[in-house]
């Protein structure tokens, strides 16, 4: 199957990127992906580069951000050129890489690693000002680690931008002692809110909406509750600096990856505390006097949900469609980009049911086996890593893969 797509790409490599109708994106079944009964998974694009987050137009066109651009382009647009309902064309766009992308009210918002741009869309979902975008946000910190700027929009002309920390802790140089207060939080480790209709905003124009969040890649606005939800990557390697409190095995299991419901002024506690999913408590970090048992962060947010360590939640999507069965409606899909040594599982899409804007049950694996190998007894390299999620106009969901450059479409056809 990969060979087929590679051949298709070579056939059209010399064709103008403005319209590649010869590039046939016929949906190819992906039987290796395990999904619940009644669901089908197809591949609609392959070897696209490191596909990150995506946005789908009302016509079904797919804009996908590319972290490892082909020919220096940071976004790919897959679309239907002749109105027959099938994606058959491709454009390579943008001269910068990044992660964040959202479509709202005929605008496409796209982030680089330091700012956010806005593009006007026409009735067909095509960008009309590709060479002259509006620069909405500029000057955000990017120092080579956890620098992707994921974005979400509410219904009040606000855009929320994540700024991850380039340092996993906040220690005095050459020591294991934590700095308090942590100066990093002035510009990283949180979510900033800006206006969608104002140009050239910097930190000073925005609001630090929430802090204490080491690195957020997956986030989404929950339209059911009108709240922003985020997925935080937990820190790692406790045992290296604090072997008297943590064993290597404990480092594979701690801390939890966490989901938070944010409000203005919220503090999730990083770098001072972390969440232990086994004790179900916020634990004081060892840099601040913790020993793996002492609790802390009384004023810090409690997570809405917790997941095994090191799963790397990179995508979050609240499902608002009606194609999927009732249990999935208004629930949260999560693209896990890493793997859990504890579970010996990873590279999958999880699901959390919601009711009245809150998690209403335990999380479960929805789509699995993107890795293409048994992670308990691996026999080769991982093939695909889910990263982004998007919902199509028909209620299908799309999953991007930033390792193999594949985009998957998951649809519900009904139980046999």
CATH of the domain at 270: 2.120.10.30
Q: Which residues pair with 105 in a beta bridge?
A: none
CB 118 within 8 A of CB 138: no
User: How many Å apart are CA 55 and CA 152, to the nearest integer?
Assistant: 11
Total domains, the chain: 1
User: How many Å apart are CA 266 and CA 31, to the nearest integer?
Assistant: 43
For the cut 60, the answer to whether the pLDDT of residue 12 exceeds it is no
Q: What is the pTM of this model?
A: 0.93
Q: Calculate mean pLDDT across residues 56-61.
A: 96
For the cut 90, the answer to whether the pLDDT of residue 287 exceeds it is yes
User: How many Å apart are CA 68 and CA 209, to the nearest integer?
Assistant: 30
Q: What angle do CA 397, 403, 404 make, to 5 degrees?
A: 75
Q: How many CB atoms lie within 10 A of CB 106?
A: 14
CB 212 within 8 A of CB 269: yes
> Structural domain of residue 225, as residue ranges?
2-412
Instruction: Report DSSP letters for 325-377, one per residue.
Output: -GGGTT-EEEEEEEEETTTTEEEEEEEE-EETTEE-S--EEEEB-TT-S-TTS
For the cut 70, the answer to whether the pLDDT of residue 11 exceeds it is no
Strands 266-267, 207-211: pairing is: parallel
Share of the chain above pLDDT 70, in %: 93
Q: Calculate mean pLDDT across residues 128-150.
A: 96
Residue with tokens 């005095």: 172
User: How many Å apart are CA 351 and CA 371, to the nearest integer?
Assistant: 18
Mark out the alpha helices in 222-325 (DSSP H runs). Answer: 238-241, 248-253
Q: Which residues pair with 399 in a beta bridge?
A: 389, 408
What pLDDT was estimated at residue 174? 93
């Amino acid at each position: 199957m990969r060979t087929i797509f590679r051949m298709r790409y070579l056939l059209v490599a010399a064709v103008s990127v403005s319209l590649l109708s010869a590039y046939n994106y016929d949906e190819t079944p992906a039987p290796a992906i395990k999904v619940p009964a009644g669901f089908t998974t197809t591949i609609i694009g392959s070897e696209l580069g490191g596909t990150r987050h995506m946005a789908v137009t009302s016509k079904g066109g797919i804009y996908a951000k590319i972290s490892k651009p082909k020919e220096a382009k940071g976004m790919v647009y897959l679309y239907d050129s002749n109105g027959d309902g099938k994606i058959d064309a491709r454009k390579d766009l943008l001269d910068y890489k990044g992660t964040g992308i959202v479509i709202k009210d005929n605008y496409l918002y796209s982030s680089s690693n330091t700012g956010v741009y806005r593009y006007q869309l026409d009735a067909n979902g095509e960008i009309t000002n590709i060479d002259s975008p509006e620069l909405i946000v500029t000057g955000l910190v990017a120092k080579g680690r956890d620098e992707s700027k994921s974005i979400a929009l509410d219904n009040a002309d606000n855009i929320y931008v994540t700024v991850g920390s380039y340092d996993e802790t906040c220690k005095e140089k050459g020591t294991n002692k934590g700095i308090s207060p942590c100066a990093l939080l002035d510009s990283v480790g949180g979510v900033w809110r800006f206006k969608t209709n104002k140009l050239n905003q910097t930190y000073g124009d925005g609001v630090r909406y929430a802090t204490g969040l080491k690195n957020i890649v997956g986030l989404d606005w929950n339209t059911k509750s009108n709240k922003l939800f985020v997925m935080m990557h937990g820190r790692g390697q406790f045992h290296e600096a604090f072997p008297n409190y943590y064993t290597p095995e404990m480092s594979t299991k701690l801390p939890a990856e966490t989901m938070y419901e944010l409000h203005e002024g919220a503090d999730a506690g990083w770098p001072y505390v972390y969440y232990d999913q086994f004790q179900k408590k916020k634990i004081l970090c060892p840099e601040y006097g913790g020993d793996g048992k002492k609790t802390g962060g009384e004023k810090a947010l409690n997570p809405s949900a917790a997941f095994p360590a090191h799963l790397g939640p990179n995508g979050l999507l609240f499902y608002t469609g009606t194609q999927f069965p009732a249990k999935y409606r208004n629930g949260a899909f999560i693209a896990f980009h890493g793997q859990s040594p504890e579970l010996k599982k990873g590279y999958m899409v999880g699901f959390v049911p919601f009711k009245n804007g809150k998690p209403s049950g335990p999380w479960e694996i929805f789509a699995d086996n993107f890795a293409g190998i048994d992670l308990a007894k691996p026999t080769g390299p991982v093939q695909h890593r889910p990263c982004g999620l998007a919902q199509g106009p028909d209620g299908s969901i799309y999953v991007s893969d930033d390792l193999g450059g594949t985009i998957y479409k998951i649809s519900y056809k009904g139980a046999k």
